[in-house]
Amino acid sequence: MKYVDFPGTKERISVIGLGTWVFGGENWGGADDRACVAAAGEALALGMNFIDTAPFYADGRSEELVGQAVKGQREKAFIATKCGLVRENGRVRHDLTPASVAREAEQSLRRMDCDVIDLYMCHWPDPATPVEKTMEAFLKLRAEKKIRHIGVSNFDLDLLKKACAVAPVATLEVQYSLLERGIESGLLPFCRDNGIGVIAYGALGGGILTGKYVKMPSFGKWDARRMFYHHFEGENLKKAQKLVKQMQAFDLPLNQVALSWVRQRPGVMTVLAGCRDVHQVRENAGAADFDLPDGFNVWSR
């Protein structure tokens, strides 16, 4: 495994991180709890110390499983979780008010049976709450030693700048892949220039870049693959498949090629890779073992 410095510190985190949206089995076609815990344990054994979770994932079950996996070896893990998506009466609302932020932090600590959250992030923006108020709540949590570092997720450039004016934002978590390169025009350069580490998710394009979809399957209403990648149909899917053919020239597992491409982009701190079992986490970890040639990064979108 390869490592990079966490922004502003000498702490080292893995360039491939464990994404746990699958844990709990709610949004990705089901998952076995024991297999997920075993996968997280294997990730730590392989040196994949960055673990990303959120209370939104399976209504807190993902955090609980992460807590089980790191029990007795908490010092090996750098845990990131989030706040701001609150379930209520079967619906999800955005809430980054100070009271809700504080309440969610306490709930996450309890679910993971941890004393402190290494990286705490806004999951999605809350248009009804000034980001300045949210950042002040994060600063309070840090002063109380309940969180160690502050990050944001899915912020646009203007909102990120506003957050940075109030608090030391260490990271931005955002979707980035060979198929989704929108951050290259503004967000990524800003993060590079200001020492903000980019945490990339969606590097496999919802599975499209693994080459397993000849045509897009019909996902369930709440399946994350349907919500995030429904636009890769028709001509867009054909373009993606053309890209997959180019990737096959490396004679490597396609998921490793896709993950490694994102990992090598300047400014990217770590790339999240989800998994259902030990086999998948081992294969994802392999993306840290090789570098793609420079010419690979000039492929057209």
Domain locations in the chain as residue ranges = 3-290
Res 301: pLDDT: 44
CATH of 3-290, one of 3.40.309.10, 3.40.30.10, 3.40.50.970, 3.20.20.100: 3.20.20.100
Res 54: pLDDT: 98
List the catalytic residue out of 57, 176, 201, 213.
Answer: 57
Q: Could you list the pLDDT tens digit for every one of the 301 residues in the chain? A: 999 999 999 999 999 999 999 998 777 677 899 999 999 999 999 999 999 999 999 999 999 999 999 999 999 999 999 999 999 888 899 999 999 999 999 999 999 999 999 999 999 999 999 999 999 999 999 999 999 999 999 999 999 999 999 999 999 999 999 988 999 999 999 999 999 999 999 998 878 888 877 666 666 666 666 665 655 666 777 778 888 988 988 888 999 999 999 999 999 999 999 998 999 999 999 999 989 887 665 454 4
Q: Strand 85-88 to strand 197-201: parallel, antiparallel, or no bridges (unpaired)?
A: unpaired
Res 210: pLDDT: 86
Q: What is the dihedral of CA 31, 34, 37, 42, to 10 degrees?
A: -100
Mark residue 121 as left, alpha or beta (left: phi above 0; alpha: psi -120 to 50; beta: remaining): beta
Closest by CA to 66, choosing from 29, 99, 18, is: 18
Q: Can you read off the two tokens belonging to residue 166?
A: 């109030």
Cα 44–Cα 212–Cα 271 angle in degrees, nearest 5: 35
3-state secondary structure of 245: helix
Asked if 57 is an active-site residue, the reply is: yes
Res 300: pLDDT: 46
Res 44: pLDDT: 98
Question: Angle 131-143/157-164 helices, nearest 10 degrees?
Answer: 40
